[in-house]
Amino acid sequence: MQLNKAEQTALRQSLSNDARILYILGIKPTADESTGVTSPLNYKSLLSLLNTKEEKFTLGRQVNSLVKELLGVGLVCFQGDVELSHSFNSKILVLSLTTMKVDEYSKLHLNWHTMHVGWLPNEKLISDLAKLVGIIDYEYTTNELGDFIAYWLGRPESQFSEYQWTQKFVFNLKKIRLAHGFKNVQKVGQQKVQTKAGILADDNAKKLVAKYSKTNT
């Protein structure tokens, strides 16, 4: 098991050593090398790992806190929708950095900044992350981008790497795609995907086209 440069850079960010141990020894060894998808989290096993010398961790919410640290620096994300106030036991993670080309993304972890008016997400990273977290329609509108920027402009104390800003934007897009009442959408599985003019036709429209095609022949 090796850590690529992107993972090493993320692990050097503001993390507790317990969170680093959890990632390196508890989570990464269970991940599929080609997809980055982990086995379901086993809190009993992870607590045993974390308490090798002394019993520092006794509650599931303590493990939750460590996982949230890893989420915060972009080392992990959840495969499905997860309520952050609930236990993560048995949940599946995706280690997005393990499957990415080092030269392409490691530098994004080095550029930390606050949000600014002209910010744009990294388009290649959006595509890769969207596939990892299961977003079908990851094309975004200017309004979606503007709302995201406006929200974080109001939080000038928040500083993240370029990778993390794009990751947050992708997670925000996923919430929008799963939101109730999203306008002009079609349902694909459990996701609501924005329709594009001229692409979709219902059965009645198709029958009318077929009818008039026969009439004109």
Average pLDDT over residues 120-134: 88
Summarize pLDDT for 27-76 with one digit per residue, the tens: 999 999 888 999 999 999 999 999 987 888 989 999 999 999 998 888 99
Whether this model's pTM surpasses 0.85? no
Cα 215 → chain centroid: 51
pLDDT at 197: 35
Instruction: Sketch the domain layout of the chain as residue ranges.
Output: 1-110, 123-217
Q: Is the pLDDT of residue 158 over 70?
A: yes
- Give me the numbers of helices (H) and strands (E) for the chain, helices first please: 9, 6
Task: Using the predicted structure, report yes or no on whether residue 131 has a pLDDT greater than 70.
Answer: yes
Going by pLDDT thresholds of 50, 70 and 90, the confidence category of residue 147 is very high
pLDDT tens across 78-110, in order? Answer: 987 888 889 999 999 999 888 766 566 777 877
Buried b (16+ CB within 10 A) or exposed e, 51-79: eeeeeebeebeebbebbebbbbbbbbbbb
Share of the chain above pLDDT 70, in %: 79
Is the pLDDT higher at 22 or at 85? Answer: 22
What SS3 class is residue 54?
coil
* The pLDDT of residue 23: 96
Give the per-residue pLDDT at 215: 47
